Structure 1
Amino acid sequence: MEIAFVGDVMLGRLVAEELRRRPPEYPWGDTLPLLRRADALVGNVEFVLADDGEPWPGKAFHFRADRRAVASLESAGFALVSVANNHVLDFGADAALESLATLAQHGIRFAGAGANAEEARRPAVIRRDDLTIAMIAFTDNEPDWEAGQESPGVHHVPIDPDDPRAVALLDIVARERDIVDLLIVSAHWGGNWGVEAPRSHRAFARELVDAGADVVFGHSPHIVRGVEVYRDRPILYGAGDFVDDYAVDPVERNDRSFLFMLRTEAAIPTELRLHPTEIVHFQARHAGRHASEIADAMTQRCLALGTRAVWDDDERCLVIRILPDSV
């Protein structure tokens, strides 16, 4: 089985304008065949799918696309998405609930936000190859957006092992471990910049694996961070930006990322393939002539975490062996 992971997907603002004169498949560029090849596609929806709503006061950036943009997510084949992030309530609670309803109506399972705390904590579940795959999503961003017992919001969890919400998350992971075959924990954590994973993230990610996570899928930083393999489980500390309209930092290069393709045997992760991508005119594309430069930088970031990534010249991607005998 192959599960594809991409980082932040933002189809609002200039991307939304481009989509008004382009087909729904446009944002995925020449990565679309690879996205569609996956048995399941996972990502972070970094915008609101709604036609109404007022911008959240005091925020610098508000991301929204009209509900028709769900056709773009469908065209790529998104199966599981995180909505635990710092943009899901950009246009208020009603718009957020409209966005979640739109995803549900189109068969895209989401996790990390809801009409109340119970819904926000609830895993998203799909079936593939007679296996049950679940994803729990949380964020440490926007504490004011934390869902309450009767109020909508996000599954907010501070990266602090002593915080009751962190303890509760680990309990949810342990409980789901006994129910599902493959468990993903999506973490929208930390700030926007910096290639090194904070020590607190590394420690908490390992706790998540110890509790039962098969994959820790991190995002929020606009740049890609290294991958660690811990107890034969991959930890993606920062998947970067897959498609958006953001200004590009010439040093950190937030326009460069990867399509992460996880291969499994049954429900056991065996190999991770990192296909270099870049954003060109509001579109994700295979990196082409910049691929080796992007891969070299990632190789060093992984090496700093004790992970060996090797370039496959035939498929033009980095390969991380999760199990030593994987092929």
Structure 2
Amino acid sequence: MGGASTVTLFLCGDVMLGRGIDQVLAHPGDPGLREGYVRDARDYVRMAEAVSGPVPAPVPPDWPWGAALGMLDTARPAARIVNLETAVTRGSDFAPGKGVHYRMHPDNLPALTAVRPDVCVLANNHVLDFGRAGLTETLGTLARAGLRTAGAGHDAAGAWAPAAVPLPSGGRVLVFGLGAPSSGIPDCWAAGPGTPGVARLPGLSAGAAAEVVRRIREARRPGDIVVVSVHWGSNWGYRVPREQIRFARALIDGGADVVHGHSSHHPRPVGTYRGRLVLYGCGDFVNDYEGIGGHEEYRGDLRPAYLVTVEAATGRLTGLRVVPYRARRLRLEPAGPADRDWLCAALDRISDGARVSAAPDGSLVLGPG
């Protein structure tokens, strides 16, 4: 949890427990898909097995998280924050106009609770893959399991409200979930008065940032740490658009302590601004992409876990530790030395104003540029 004067947070990228992963769990849902080339979710299991070996289905609920669970038990972060990019529903109302739909059966929820998330961010381009009824079922299932959510709700007020994780100090970790159009969130998915949906930004303009800052200032109390978790940008590539940089800095100027970016299928640059951390893209963490070819140069099979430590009193960054994993047989295994070296070199090369180096324990750490 950090010392008395610091707070450690666990952050990761996209967590997708549907489709192939749902099929290897104890309660697989309907495997039918409406994708251009794959019509049965079990084909994603077969693709993973073709490159990594058999998956002993049905697997226990903690299977997808693999070695990451032991790391988290040792690190004991004060808050575990994940971007849940999966509808949790029995529904079959496929959202029109989308080529990919993700859902996990509600009875497989133990595969999510196994990692004991403190906040599930839902402001992404898959949480309404099965319509507003699917989102409503998702919200109800997570609430009954005692899981906090941010970024989607039964109406606009619920979607934009932060999740609050209490700290022993009496302060809180406030998590705001936001989704940008650039990540593929349809305009019609925006939550409205009395309408379920996501906290969809109109764009990354100065005005949009000012509205988020207003919400931060309304919610924040002394001793709180503010995380803004935002789904933005394309799937591939290292370049960070200037509008993302301006938006992140405006949030920090307005009171955010950590900007937690996700949507890309691989890690994007790590940045700091005024002593605060900006993760422009955390990459994927859990999914069924293991056997899918293409974009191998980005090493989407490497799955980083981010342990962010900040001062409890000020929210200023005091340390970042990145623990690399690799997807194999639909679960996370420790990355080998060569994979760790590759990820370290990539993050160090692409991160402007910060240096990333290897630590003796096999993790990667952030230092000044």
* Common topology (TM > 0.5): yes
* Greater relative CO (CA pairs within 8 A, separation 6+): 2
Write the deviation string for residues 129-179 of structure 1: whole angstroms up to 9, x where unpaired.
Answer: 23311100110132221111121111011333244x443212112323345
Matched, 1:226 2:269: yes
Give the letter for the 2:346 counterpart.
A
Among 206, 219, 225, the alignment partner of 1:182 is: 225
Among 328, 343, 347, the alignment partner of 1:280 is: 328
8 Å CA contact retained: 1:48, 1:91: yes
Between the aligned partners of 2:277 and 2:297, the Cα distance in structure 1 is 27
Match of residue 119 from structure 1: 158
Match of residue 11 from structure 2: 5
* Runs of at least 5 residues in structure 2 that lack an aligned partner in the other structure: 3-7, 27-57
Q: Which has the greater radius of gyration?
A: 2
Identity %, equivalent residues: 35
1:189-208 map, 5 Å: 189-208=232-251
Shift of 1:264: 3.0
SS at match of 1:73: helix
Give the letter for the 2:348 counterpart.
T
8 Å CA contact retained: 1:159, 1:201: no
Between the aligned partners of 2:331 and 2:186, the Cα distance in structure 1 is 28
Write the deviation string for residues 174-224 of structure 1: whole angstroms up to 9, x where unpaired.
Answer: 323345510100000111111121111011000010010010000011111
Match of residue 217 from structure 1: 260
Among 66, 69, 74, the alignment partner of 1:32 is: 69
Match of residue 255 from structure 1: 301
Matched, 1:316 2:316: no
Among 155, 159, 163, the alignment partner of 2:203 is: 159
Matched, 1:243 2:283: no
SS at match of 1:100: helix
Equivalent residue pairs, number: 319
Between the aligned partners of 1:70 and 1:128, the Cα distance in structure 2 is 26
Between the aligned partners of 2:273 and 2:206, the Cα distance in structure 1 is 22
Between the aligned partners of 2:141 and 2:222, the Cα distance in structure 1 is 28
Give the letter for the 2:197 counterpart.
G
SS at match of 1:251: helix
Match of residue 31 from structure 2: none
TM-score with structure 1 setting the length: 0.93
Give the letter for the 1:257 counterpart.
R
TM-score with structure 2 setting the length: 0.83
Shift of 1:53: 3.6
Shift of 1:256: 1.6
Matched, 1:49 2:55: no
* Runs of at least 5 residues in structure 1 that lack an aligned partner in the other structure: none
Between the aligned partners of 2:336 and 2:154, the Cα distance in structure 1 is 43
8 Å CA contact retained: 1:258, 1:274: yes
Give the letter for the 2:261 counterpart.
G
1:1-150 map, 5 Å: 1=2, 2-20=8-26, 21-36=58-73, 37-130=76-169, 131-140=171-180, 141-150=185-194
SS at match of 1:126: strand
Task: Quickly say closer, same or farther: Cα 1:118–1:316, change in 2 above 3 A.
Answer: same
Q: Which runs of 4+ in 1 moved over 3 A?
A: 177-180
Between the aligned partners of 1:111 and 1:22, the Cα distance in structure 2 is 29
8 Å CA contact retained: 2:25, 2:60: yes
The answer to which of 21-30 and 278-287 deviates more is: 278-287
